[in-house]
Every structure is written in structure tokens, then in C-alpha cells.
Amino acid sequence: MSLQHLTLAAKTAVITTVTVLAASCNKPSVPTDAIVSVGPASLTETELRAAMPNGLPAADSAAFAESYISTWISNRLVTEVALKNLPDTREIDRMVNEYRRNLIMWEYIRLKTAEDPSLAASPDSVKSYFEAHKHEFTTSEPMVKGIFVKIPSASDKITDIKKLLRTPADPDKLEKAILRDTQIAYDYFGDRWVSWSQIKAIWPVGTTEIKPQTGMRYEAESAGSIHMLLLSEVLPAGSQMPAEVAAPLITRRIEARNRAEIERRLRADMRTTATADGTIRFHTSGK
């Protein structure tokens, strides 16, 4: 984006601000792609491009640029005035430096932790953890296995689909029946557990609420489509969580524990090295 593409209001804001500042300040050197300067600070075209969301239409891009430039000018003006009028900014400077040090420290620790091979939770460690802590993992809502089909109400395949969607269902025959029919939505989850809230999210709003029961087939029509659900297995809320459902939770626990251990080890090694090479020096009080 270049300055000529900005709206008239944005151009006016830029020109007015630059004119006012030029009358009161020595002109500092500015980047070649600068759009506007406030005191020694400049907003560049590169920075504006980086801040702008991708895919905006031309009109929205111009509006975003106008708003961003106006806000940038306002914030810089307040900062310039504040720097001249605050009696003491040493505490602010200390906080900024401390924040910067913390950012650098945590980014370094993050990078060192991520590249440490001991961070990852192995399948064996996840399995062992589950066996030792089964009582900690229970379902907070029903979990189900089954099949979901959404088919246009006018489809000539409805009768066949209903015949096939019975217990025990034949996923292969169902898949062949809807093969290459892009108007039919089909999801087979008979080989994995799905939370009941996920099912409710795809079930038509406003229809009678259904309660999960093993072997039951449910049907509802809404907005020109028939929704069908067959439940082959149901695990009630409060049941012991299946190992495959608990695995992601366990993985996060183990990796958090490993991450803390890696950080502890990293800090200890740094301290040992720094003490040995004299980087750390303790001083007797008064000397």
C-alpha cells in the first residue's frame, strides 16, 4: 500500500500532523517508506502492511489504514507529551527493561526445551501413566460411537440409507450407497469415541432433544435435509475414560512435567557453569 491509496481523511490526518510537527521539531531522518512521523518515530509502509489483515477488500483496506494511522498518531502524540511532562520515568524504564529480559529469557528457555529429546511423551509413558492414574480420568459427558448421515429431503436414496442405517450397520455398504454424492454428509465414528456435545453441535437446532442410548437410531428433518444418527456404543457421563480419549490429556501432563524438569536442569547447568567461570561472584557486604 502506498500513500496515494489512502483515503482523503487519512491523507489529511497525516499531512496535518506532519505539518504541525515540522513547525515545532527539527526534522529527523526518516525511513524511505515512511508514511508519517511523530517526533523521532516514524510509521512505515512496511509496518502498516504487516499490521493489516490478509484478504481485505480495497475499501476495507483503506478504512483499516485510515484507522491504524490515526491511532498510531494519537498514541505517539500522547507518548511524546507524556515524556516531556512526567517528572520521573525511571521506574517505567526499569519495568520495560525487566519485561524485555523476561521475554528474552522465556523465549530462550522455550527454544531449548522444544529441541530437547526428553520433552516428548512416549506411547509407553502415556500407557503407564494411564494405568497408574485411571481413577483420575472420568467422562464429564456421554461418549458415543456410531454413524451420522445428513441427506437432502428430496434425495431418492433416503429409503436405501434408512435400511442400511440399522444395527448392526454395514459401513462399507453405506459408503458405497453415497459414493460420489456430494450432497450427502457422512461420518463414520464407530471406531472412535466422540463427545456427546460434538453430536449435539451438528444435530438440527429446535428439534426434540435426544438422549444417547446404545443401538438407537435417531432422525430429524430441518432446512430441507434429513439428519440420521445411529449409536453403536454409548459410554455414560462419569464412566472411566477410554485410554484413547485420555491419551491427549496425559500427553499434556507428561510434557508439562518434562518441560519443568528440562528448565530446572537448564538453570542448574547454567548456574554451575557461571560459578565455575567466575560469571557469578558473591561480594562481602561493604566491600
Average pLDDT over residues 50-58: 90
266: confidence class by pLDDT, cuts 50, 70, 90: very high
pLDDT at 282: 86
Q: Is 176 helix (H, G, I), strand (E, B) or coil?
A: helix
The fraction of the chain above a pLDDT of 70, given in percent, is 88
39: confidence class by pLDDT, cuts 50, 70, 90: confident
| Residue 52 to residue 62: CA distance in whole angstroms | 10
283: confidence class by pLDDT, cuts 50, 70, 90: confident
Answer for the pair 34, 94: CB distance below 8 angstroms, yes or no: no
pLDDT in tens, 123-134: 999 999 999 999
Residue 47 has pLDDT above 60, yes or no: yes
Q: Which three cell numbers stand for residue 287?
A: 566491600
| Residue 185 to residue 178: CA distance in whole angstroms | 9
Average pLDDT over residues 146-154: 92
Residue 255 vs residues 114, 122, 145, 222, 244: alpha-carbon distances, Å: 10, 10, 29, 44, 17
19: confidence class by pLDDT, cuts 50, 70, 90: very low
Answer for the pair 174, 186: CB distance below 8 angstroms, yes or no: yes
pLDDT in tens, 104-122: 999 999 999 999 999 999 9
Q: Where are the alpha helices (DSSP H) in the chain?
A: 8-24, 45-51, 58-85, 90-114, 123-132, 158-164, 171-177, 196-202, 243-276
Check residue 178 and report its DSSP letter: T
Lowest mean pLDDT among 90-94, 208-212, 226-230: 208-212
Residue 29 vs residues 3, 12, 32, 150: alpha-carbon distances, Å: 19, 22, 9, 64
Lowest mean pLDDT among 101-115, 163-177, 222-236: 163-177
Integer-rounded Cα radius of gyration of the chain? 31
Average pLDDT over residues 21-33: 64
Average pLDDT over residues 51-56: 90
Average pLDDT over residues 261-287: 89
Amino acid at 134: K
Residue 183 has pLDDT above 70, yes or no: yes
Domain locations along the chain = 3-86, 94-137+245-268, 139-235
Those residues with Cβ within 8 angstroms of residue 224's Cβ, 6 or more apart along the chain or in another chain: 152, 153, 154
Residue 229 has pLDDT above 60, yes or no: yes
Those residues with Cβ within 8 angstroms of residue 101's Cβ, 6 or more apart along the chain or in another chain: none
27: confidence class by pLDDT, cuts 50, 70, 90: low
Nearest one of 37, 115, 112, 23 to 80, comparing CA atoms? 37
